[in-house]
Amino acid sequence: MTVKVGFENLPAPIVLHLQDSITTWPIQPHVYHVTSLIRCLKKSWYRRTHPERVAWSVRSLWNVYRGSTFDNKWTSLFKIHQKNYRANRRGVTISGTLDFVYDDGDGPVLYDLKMPSNVDSKKIYGAGQGYRRQVQAYLALAHHNRELTDIHSARVLMVGGSGVAVENVPEWTDMLEAYLWPRAFVLDAALRVGSPISLPPAEEGWECSVDPEGAPYCPADLHFRKTCEMAKRKDGSEFSSEFLINRFEKSVDPNFVKEMKELLD
C-alpha cells in the first residue's frame, strides 16, 4: 500500500482554483490593517515593498481559502457583521473589520471567527496573543468611532476538524494609544525611509522560520534567505519602538516624531 501525505499531492486544477480565489487588495499608502500591525512588522514591511518574496505554499492557500469561505457564509448570518472601522492621525490610518456581533442572552459580544489548523492546541493553550489582540483591536476601533459602545466583551471563536474552542477576551480600553498607534507610526516611518532593519522583532516565535541548521530567518525575505538578526536576539531592546524613532528622527517630519514619542511616554 502506498499512501502519499501532504498538500503538494492536491491535483493541479484544485491548486489553481485556490490560487485564483486569493484576493489581492491594492496597497494604500499609510493605511494599515490591524493584522499588519499585530504580526511581525518586518514581515508587514516586506509584504508592502516586495510582495513577490512572500511565498504562498499550497497549505497557506488552503488556510486562507477555508477561512474566507466560512467567513463569508457564517458571518452574514448576523445582523452586525463585516463592519469596517478606521482611525486617522497625522496622515496615517488604522483599519479593521470585525466579523460579527452576537447576543446569546448575556449581552452583546464582538466575535472574531478563526479556522486554525490545530484546534486541539487552542483548547489547551488558548487563542494566542495574535488572535486576542486582533479582536481587541476591532473593539477598540469601534469605540473610537463611537459605535458598539454598549459592548465591552470579545470572543475568539475557533472552529476546526477536531472541534470548537471559544475564548473570552477582555477589553483593552487604551489599545489604540498604547499599542496600535506606536506600531503604525514605526511601520510607516520604516516605509518612508525604505528600510526594515530597525523594526522591532516578532513577538511570537511561530512568525519566524528555521533553516536546516536551526538558525531563525525571516520568512518574508525568501529571496535572499538572510538570517534574521532580530530573531536571534534574546533581548530585542535595541530594536524597540524608541530605538526606531531615534534612528529615524532626522529622516521624517519633526512633528511626526514628536507625536510618536508622546505616544510612547
Q: What is the pLDDT of residues 130-142, one digit of tens each?
A: 999 999 999 999 9
The per-residue pLDDT for 237 is: 41
pLDDT above 80: residue 184: yes
The residues, any chain, with a CB within 8 Å of residue 155's CB and separated by 6 or more, are 109, 110, 111, 112, 135, 166, 167, 168, 169
CA distance 108 to 179: 25
Please return the burial class of 199, using the count of CB atoms within 10 Å of its CB with bins 0-12, 13-18 and 19+. Answer: buried
- Residue 224: predicted pLDDT: 44
For the ranges 120-124, 150-154, 169-173, the lowest mean pLDDT is seen at 120-124
Task: For residues 261 and 181, give the distance between their C-alpha atoms in angstroms, rounded to a whole number.
Answer: 11
**Residue 107 confidence (pLDDT):** 94
> Is the CATH code 3.90.320.10 the one for domain 26-172?
yes
Least reliable range by pLDDT among 30-34, 91-95, 214-218: 214-218
Residue linked to cell 523594526:
199
Mean pLDDT value of segment 76-102: 97
198, pLDDT greater than 60 = yes
Residue 221, all three cell numbers: 525575505
Confidence of residue 220 (pLDDT cuts 50, 70, 90): low
What is the C-alpha separation between 34 and 135, in angstroms, rounded?
9
Question: 253 pLDDT band (50/70/90 cuts)?
Answer: low
For residue 22, CA distances in Å to 58, 60, 188 come to 12, 11, 26
Q: Residue ranges per domain, the chain?
A: 26-172, 176-264
Q: How far is 97 from 222, CA to CA, in rounded Å?
A: 30
How confident is the prediction for the chain on average, in pLDDT? 82
What's the Rg (C-alpha) of the chain? 20
Identify the pLDDT of residue 258: 61
Q: What is the pLDDT of residue 231?
A: 45
